[in-house]
Each structure stands twice: as C-alpha cells, then as structure tokens.
C-alpha cells in the first residue's frame, strides 16, 4: 500500500449526510470506568514517549483513547479537535457495516452464503455472467467480489449505485482474490436495507448505538438514500473505543450479548490473504513489516501482534488487541498510515504490561497534564499589520474565476478577522481568530476538502460545517489563515496577499499537502481589485 491511503476518500465527495440523533446521555468519555494507567498495567511514561514520538513526526494526531481491562486509562484531543464532535471515519465505517450484517444474520434475515443477485432482481443486467451469479454476501464482506479493481469511482457516478455495481464486469471468480472494494461494502448496506426495511444507521440504532450510549452520528447516503456503508460515517473517538470494547468482549456489553460471540469470531479472523504489493515481492517478508498484509476478515483488517482493526483514510483507527485486553482509538491526519501504526507498536504495545504496575503518581500526573494540554500548533507570525486598517471593511472585486466568486472582503477587530466571499449563490463567511482559534460554521464553497468535489465526483448542496480558524500576518502584506474543519481530518491554508489596491487569495487543502501533490488543489487563485467604497 502506498503511504497515501487513497482507498476511501475518493468516495466521500459530493455525498449527502444524514444526521442521526441517538437520544443518548451526554458524552461521558467512560467517566464511570476510569483508572490510572499503572493500575491497569499501563506505563504512563510509555504513553508520554508515544506522544513525544508523534510530536516529532509528520503524523498529525487529533485524538487518542486507550482502554485497558475495560477501563479508560488515557484520552486526549489536540485542540481545536474536541471530544463531543463526530469525526469523519472514512473506511472505518466498513467495520460498522459488517456489524449490521452480523445482526441481520443473527436475526435470520440473511446468510453470508446468500447470492447477491437474489436481493436485486429488478436491477440485474440483461445478461448475467457466471461470476455475477456466483457472487455471495461473504465475497462482499471479504473484498473478494472478483473485480479487477475497485469499481467504486464508476459506481458513484450513477444515480442507482446498486444497478451500476451489478452492471460492471466481474473479471475473476468471486472468492479467488482480494481487491479492495468500497462498492462491495455499499452493497452490504443496500442488502441490509432491503431485508430490514431500514437504513443501515436506523437498523443499528437500537442494536448497537443505543446500548453503547453513543451520541449523535452521521452517515453519508447515496442519491437514493441508502447509507454509503463503505465510507461516510462520522462518530466520536469514544464511539470508536466503545465499538472496539464490544468486539474485545466478544459481543457483550454490560452483561448483555449484543452480537453473537460466534459472529465476532467469524468477523475478525482471517478469511483471505492480501496479495503482495507488486510482482516479485516476497509476501512472507512483507508480512514482517506491513499491517496491510496480515489477512482480511469481514471488513476488519488483521494486524501484526495478533490484533485486528478497523481503519480509515488519513489515519482513523480502532485497534483491538485481544492478548493485551486493550483497545486503542485514534483519529488523525497522516499520509503514512503504516508509519503511525509503527509508532503504536513501538511505544504503546510495550506499555501494556501483564500485571498492574506500581503506582507512579508523578508520571501519571504529568501524563494527565500533557493530555489536557494537547493542541495543534497555531500559525506563526505577527498578530498585527498596518495593512489591516487600510483594508478593513473594503470589498475587492474579483476577476472571472471557476469558483464563481465575485467579491472578497476582510473585517478586523482586535484579535479577530472575518473573511467574506461572495458568489452568485450568496455570501459565505469564516470567522478567524488572530493568534487564537475561533469557532464557527461555514458553507464556504470548496470546504471541507473531503466533500468539495476535490476528486471530480458530483457535488450536492453544501451543508454548513464546523470550523475553527486562526490567522497571522506572515509579513505586513500577507495574511495567512488556517481553517480546521474539526469534524474531519482536514484543513485549508488560505493565503491573502495585498499589493496597493490588489489582492490575491490562494487556497491549499491538506489533502494536497498529505498526498505530496497527488491530488492537487482545484480551487483557483482569486485575483481582485479594491472597490472605491466599502459597501
């Protein structure tokens, strides 16, 4: 696998998002199940070493939660990220979809050996190939549908994704090889909806989310209102930790068997071996270093150290370690997902000891202080510039551009700046702190990157998104802002350069940075001239 995980974010663009209020109590972050790290056999100093290693790396962590023996021993969010905001999970969504299939199997609504085509007779192609006839639910679960490559980019161009999926050639016999296939997971969601009469998220509500006392989630849908399944779920870090605990506890929660133990074992044990990355690569040698070549289960990855995980693009992790009786939940923004896992194995795995450790009040206190103070670095530069008074409130008329932007304006007061962009559709604002984070919401075109049409898929109506923004003057004539969409792994860097009565506004999304330019920024640099009046 390449350092930049492309597997699921391609499917995120342009998808409607449905909010699902669970009616659960406020987020408690396991407040009723807390313990010092040492009491649970975890070294506080080792966790601190992990945090230091992350700080010295290219990985941008957003949250961390460590659960040991059912106790929450460490949790932290890097400001402006926060505990109560659901995070985009990308392909980690797949593991939740697998769970919905497990519930449906337990209730006798389907079997993993059922033929996929039997659920959708009206959407079958005119000519049905032998491979399509042979396609079973278990092949969707194990990423062995038989396609030569992931069909999702083709499927999501259409209105009816089920029909599109069934119409594409299946070049290989189902079950014969592993090819990562987000469209296959979407089909699982469609099947669950077909047999239950409920969207995936609604079906999971009383069976999974309510018992786990999960706060509100969101799940992206296809144009026909079916939950995307393979991507598009947003949930809190605590939800990930609880989800991992459910699987660690073999489907039990608070003394009740939610998922059958037999399903948990079936869903998390090796079902198919991923092939070597390239011809001539030695698989045995690759397995020594790659957590993407340990075998695949039912929408869970096997890991080194006899662990398993759900994961999503840019470093969203729910890692379950049965031998250590532990769960590690992480949200982040990284282009090197293996590299971040390597830090977990290097520092956090050895921190999980076989028995309780002697109390270490100093190390534990230092760890808690460090976790409470976690923050992403603010942009560096000056908080003031003489230019701010000159341009305050003044509108700049923009040259014709592909974004359809007509005007920009800037409003300054003490430690704040409001950026305004006007298009034919209306005015869009971002409130920005100067030298500090300022919270707000925005419908700014092109933000956040994951639903901005960055990868060329259709874009629907842009819902408002949460943003924390901070800015500084890089020099007297250059205002630079960082817009962090803290419900996602992503952010924008917006650079505004002023020259007499001229302005240039440049956007750069974090996906472009992480990918090394592999997915370039599509928004144009805006050029404009100040109008004579400020209205």
Is residue 297 within 8 Å of 37, Cβ to Cβ?
no
CATH number, residue 475: 2.40.128.20
State mean pLDDT over 438-454.
73
pLDDT in tens, 107-126: 999 999 999 999 999 999 99
Predicted confidence (pLDDT) at residue 535 exceeds the cutoff of 80:
no
Predicted confidence (pLDDT) at residue 5 exceeds the cutoff of 50:
no
pLDDT in tens, 386-408: 999 999 999 999 999 999 999 99
1 in a domain, yes or no?
no
- Nearest residue to 83 (alpha-carbon basis) of 28, 137, 126, 23: 28
CA separation for the pair 367, 397 (Å, rounded): 51
397 in a domain, yes or no?
yes
- What pLDDT shows up at residue 277? 78
Arithmetic mean of pLDDT over the chain: 90
State mean pLDDT over 60-84.
97
Residues counted in the chain: 535
Q: How many CB atoms lie within 10 A of CB 468?
A: 23
Which structural domain range is residue 142 located in?
Answer: 9-372
CA separation for the pair 470, 438 (Å, rounded): 6
51 in a domain, yes or no?
yes
156 and 204 assigned to the same domain:
yes
State mean pLDDT over 315-338.
97
The pTM assigned to this predicted structure is 0.92
CATH number, residue 186: 3.40.710.10
**For residue 27, what pLDDT band results from cuts at 50, 70 and 90?**
very low
396 and 366 assigned to the same domain:
no
Q: What is the 3-state secondary structure (H, E, C) of 99-167?
A: HHHHHHHHCCCCCCCCECHHHCHHHCCCCCCHHHHHCEHHHHHCCCCCCCCCCHHHHCCCCCHHHHHHH
Domain boundary among 339, 372, 405: 372
% of the chain residues with pLDDT over 70? 91
Quote the DSSP letter at residue 36: -
118 and 222 assigned to the same domain:
yes
CA separation for the pair 256, 254 (Å, rounded): 6
How many domains in the chain?
A: 2
333 and 481 assigned to the same domain:
no
CA separation for the pair 385, 383 (Å, rounded): 7
72 and 178 assigned to the same domain:
yes
Could you tell me which residue, 84 or 447, shows the higher pLDDT? 84
CA separation for the pair 260, 246 (Å, rounded): 11
Predicted confidence (pLDDT) at residue 461 exceeds the cutoff of 60:
no
535 in a domain, yes or no?
no
Predicted confidence (pLDDT) at residue 1 exceeds the cutoff of 70:
no
Is residue 145 within 8 Å of 135, Cβ to Cβ?
yes
Crossing angle of the two packed helices 93-106 and 237-248, in degrees rounded to 10: 40
Domain boundary among 312, 345, 372: 372
330 in a domain, yes or no?
yes
- What pLDDT shows up at residue 490? 94
396 and 361 assigned to the same domain:
no
CA separation for the pair 237, 74 (Å, rounded): 12
Q: Which residues contact 118 (CB under 8 A, 6 or more apart)?
A: none
User: DSSP states of 376-429 as a string?
Assistant: PPPPPSBS--HHHHHHBT-EEEEPP-TT-EEEEEEEEETTEEEEEEEETTEEEE
210 and 132 assigned to the same domain:
yes
Crossing angle of the two packed helices 261-268 and 93-106, in degrees rounded to 10: 140
Predicted confidence (pLDDT) at residue 3 exceeds the cutoff of 70:
no
- Nearest residue to 312 (alpha-carbon basis) of 83, 87, 140: 87
CA separation for the pair 93, 232 (Å, rounded): 7
138 in a domain, yes or no?
yes
State mean pLDDT over 140-151.
97
């Amino acid at each position: 696998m390449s350092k930049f995980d492309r597997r699921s974010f391609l499917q995120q663009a342009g998808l409607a998002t449905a909010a699902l209020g669970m009616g659960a109590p406020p987020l408690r972050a396991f407040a009723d199940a807390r313990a010092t790290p040492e009491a649970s056999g975890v070294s506080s100093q080792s966790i601190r070493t992990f945090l230091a290693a992350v700080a010295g790396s290219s990985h941008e962590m957003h949250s961390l939660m460590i659960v040991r023996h059912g106790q929450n021993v460490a949790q932290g969010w890097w400001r402006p990220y926060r505990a109560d905001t659901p995070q985009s999970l990308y392909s980690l969504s797949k593991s939740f979809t697998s769970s919905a299939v497990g519930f449906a199997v337990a209730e006798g609504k389907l079997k993993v050996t059922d033929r996929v085509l039997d659920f959708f007779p009206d959407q079958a192609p005119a000519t049905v190939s032998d491979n399509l006839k042979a396609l079973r639910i278990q092949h969707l679960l194990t990423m062995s549908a038989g396609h030569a490559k992931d069909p999702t980019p083709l499927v999501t161009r259409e209105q009816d994704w089920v029909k599109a999926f069934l119409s594409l050639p299946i070049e290989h016999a189902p079950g014969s090889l592993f090819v990562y296939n987000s469209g296959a997971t979407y089909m699982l969601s469609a099947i669950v909806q077909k047999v239950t009469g409920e969207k995936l998220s609604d079906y999971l509500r009383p069976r999974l989310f309510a018992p786990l006392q999960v706060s509100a989630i969101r799940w992206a849908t296809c144009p026909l209102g079916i939950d995307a399944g393979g991507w598009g779920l947003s949930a809190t870090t605590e939800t990930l930790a609880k989800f991992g605990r459910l699987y660690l506890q073999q489907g039990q929660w608070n003394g009740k068997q939610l998922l059958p133990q037999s399903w948990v074992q079936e869903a998390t044990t090796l079902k198919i071996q991923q092939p070597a990355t390239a011809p001539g690569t030695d698989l045995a040698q690759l397995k020594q270093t790659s957590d993407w070549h340990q075998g695949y289960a039912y929408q869970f990855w096997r890991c080194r150290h006899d662990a398993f995980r759900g994961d999503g693009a840019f470093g969203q992790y729910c890692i379950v370690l049965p031998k250590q009786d532990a769960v590690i939940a992480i949200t982040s923004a990284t282009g090197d997902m293996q590299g971040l896992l390597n830090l977990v194995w290097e520092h956090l795995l050895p921190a999980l000891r076989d028995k309780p450790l002697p109390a270490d009040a100093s190390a534990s206190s230092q760890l808690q202080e460090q976790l409470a103070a976690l923050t992403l670095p603010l942009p560096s530069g000056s908080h003031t510039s003489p230019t701010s008074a000159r341009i305050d409130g003044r509108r700049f008329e923009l040259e014709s551009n592909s974004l359809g932007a007509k005007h920009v304006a800037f409003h300054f007061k003490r430690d704040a700046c409001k950026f305004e962009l006007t298009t034919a559709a209306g005015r869009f604002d971002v409130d920005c702190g100067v030298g500090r984070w300022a919270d707000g919401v925005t419908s700014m075109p092109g933000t956040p990157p994951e639903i901005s049409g960055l990868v060329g898929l259709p874009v629907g109506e842009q819902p408002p998104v949460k943003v924390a923004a901070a800015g500084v003057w890089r020099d007297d004539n250059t205002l630079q802002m960082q817009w962090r969409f803290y419900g996602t792994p992503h952010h924008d860097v917006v650079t505004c350069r002023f020259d007499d009565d001229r302005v240039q506004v440049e956007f750069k999304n974090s996906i472009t940075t992480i990918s090394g330019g592999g997915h370039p920024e599509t928004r144009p640099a805006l050029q404009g001239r100040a109008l004579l009046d400020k209205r």
